[in-house]
Every structure is written in structure tokens, then in C-alpha cells.
Amino acid sequence: MSIQSYIFRAIPFILAIQLAGCNNSSVQDATQKSEPLPEEIADGNLPYKKLSTYQFFQGELANLNPREEVIPYEPASSLFTDYALKKRFIKIPSGQKAGISEGELQYPIGTILIKNFYFTEDLRDQTSKQRIIETRLLILEENGWEAFPYIWNEEQTEAVLKVVGGEKTVKFTDLKGEDQVINYLIPNKNQCKTCHNKSEVLAPIGAQIKHLNHDLNYQDTTLNQLAHWQESGILEGFEGKETYPSMINYQDESQALSKRAMAYLDVNCSHCHSAEGPASTSGLFLTFDQEDQMKLGVMKTPVAAGNGAGSFDYDIVPGKADESIITHRMNSTEVGIAMPELGRTTVHIEGVQLIKDWINSMN
């Protein structure tokens, strides 16, 4: 069954719930008074032109207040995107569940991953005024995942599908209290596969077991996120945290430096630099559980870095971060040198320092 069919079939159910909640009105009266469905929903055409048409959120759209069937989620570590903050949600079709097969999450057709990118006026104050820049949807259709970028208007009342991507001027105060102005780039639909690439097939990055298998606060309790999904009825087959790989938050300074560095490299680099990623021919594999020093780049010459290597010979020179190609490329915004290639126009100062500290700690 196509995703269009799932959503189309769900519409009468949604209407029934809404009508049941009307006070002192019969179903017939409420039906007569209700507004017609948006044409796109009535036709079941995906993707919708407007984000609001999906009805993920209730109340003012910019509040991102999810409906009951839209579940927030959070990876242990977050991919760096020009200091943007993110709010993520997942919607699994009614009556369906995700499962686990061969250590990986398997989502049912019709699953939608919702990732909102926003900035606060002052990054030091999460309660300061916020501005949502874009919302990216990953929708699992019969032929696989499809990516759709939505760009928010200045009034923060709507986001519109822009398959060609775009750019926005963003102003904010950074973590050091300094004012910043950046030219934030929104990838086009085709560019999404550059990072979301697993064996040449578009795939989620953060919505994997290793990123989700950690504890979160839920109202008055703390619970493993995947266990919460299972209790919520959108996942089956989860056998407990210890059964599966689990990553840490690289910002957690109470954790070992090496674990923090590997968590950072995994979430920011391993979607390309892994055996199944588009940079597999580089021989540089930056997954969190990598123990082979050569595959990590220690005293390894690059396969084809070209100008990206600068004047340096090795990906990582133990004890010498400033002579290592990996930090050289992380510390650049120049096309052909900067790594990652997409997703940022600025240098992640804290991330670069973390990897430098890690390299300098090597014997």
C-alpha cells in the first residue's frame, strides 16, 4: 500500500475524533459545518506543498506542538549544522510498528521523520526568541525513502516545499556572546542523498539504534528512548539497552575524551566514511566502534585528498593535531578542503577543539 493510501485512509478516522469532541452537536450537524479538507489531502498527493497540510502539529505551527501520534525523538549526539538547533519527530502510520532486524530499525511504509532546524537569538539562552529556518521530511515510500525540504516564511506561519533548496541570512549571538551573521544553506532534494547515503540508497542518519539507544526524560521519569517507543506502541522487538550498540553525547565532558571524539566523528562523518558510505574508497572509516588505527587515519596517507590535504601527509599524526589532515579540513570552509562537504558554512569551533584534544592526547 502506498503512503498516499495510508494518509488518505487515516483522514476519516481523524475527522471522527474531531467530530466526537464537538459539544452539544450531532455528528450530522458537525459534518455539515466542518470546513472541506485541503485539496491535497483529499487527493492524497504527496509531497504536500505546505508543511501545515500534513497536520503534524496543533495550534500555531511555529510552536511545533506535536499531535499525539507524532512522537519526539533525540539522538545522543547531534550532527553539526552551522549551530542550528533541532527538534525531531517521527510519525508511524496508525496500527503499524517499527521493528528490529539484524540489529537495525526497520520502519513501516508511510513512516515520516520530521526534522526542524531553528536558531534562538542568543544561543546561550534557549528561551530567547526563536526562528525556524527549515523543516526536512524523510518519507518512506514503497520504493524507499524520499527527502523533501520545506522553507519557513519570515512570519513563521508556514513552511513551503522547495525541492531546489535555498539560503537564508541568519543572525544570532553565539556561545561566546559574539554576534554572528551567516548565510545558511538549505540543501536541494538531490543533495540530501549525498549524506543520507547507505550503499547508494537514501537512508536516515540519526534515526538508527546506535543513536537512539539512550535515556531521555519523560515527564516525571527517565526511560530508555527505544523502550519508550515500545511502550508507546510504535516499536516491537526491543530487548533492552545492553543488547544493542549505544552512543554517548559528545558534549558530555564527564565521558572519556576518546569516546566523545568517536561519537563526534560518527554522527558528523561516518555516514560517508564507513564501509557502506560514499567515501568507502578512502579507507577512512570513522564509526564510533572503530578500533583499527589505520582505518581511523592514524599515520595514514590519504587516497585522493588532492588540495584538501594542504601541506600535510597524514590524516592523523598522534600528538600533533595541527599537522593532521582531519583537523585541517574540519577547520576550513573552503570548497574542496572543508569536511563535511555539505551541511555547514561555518567552522564548528568546539568540535574542532574536541578532535584536536583527542589527537594531541595520543601517544
The average pLDDT across 285-303 equals 93
pLDDT tens for 61-70 read 999 999 999 9
| Predicted confidence (pLDDT) at residue 193 exceeds the cutoff of 80 | no
| Predicted confidence (pLDDT) at residue 20 exceeds the cutoff of 90 | no
Angstrom distance (rounded) from CA 9 to CA 188: 30
Q: What percent of the chain has pLDDT over 90?
A: 69
Model confidence, pTM: 0.84
14-28, 83-97, 187-201: which has the minimum mean pLDDT?
14-28
* pLDDT score recorded for residue 62: 97
The C-alpha angle with vertex 188 and arms to 182 and 189, in degrees rounded to 5, equals: 145
| Predicted confidence (pLDDT) at residue 33 exceeds the cutoff of 60 | no
Burial grade of 165 (CB within 10 A; 0-12, 13-18, 19 or more): middle
pLDDT tens for 228-275 read 999 999 999 999 999 999 999 999 999 999 999 999 999 999 988 888
| Predicted confidence (pLDDT) at residue 281 exceeds the cutoff of 70 | yes
| Predicted confidence (pLDDT) at residue 88 exceeds the cutoff of 90 | yes
* pLDDT score recorded for residue 202: 76
User: What mean pLDDT value characterizes the chain?
Assistant: 86
pLDDT tens for 108-133 read 999 999 999 999 999 999 899 999 99
pLDDT tens for 321-353 read 999 999 999 999 998 899 888 778 999 999 999
Q: Is the peptide bond before 12 cis (omega within 30 degrees of 0)?
A: no
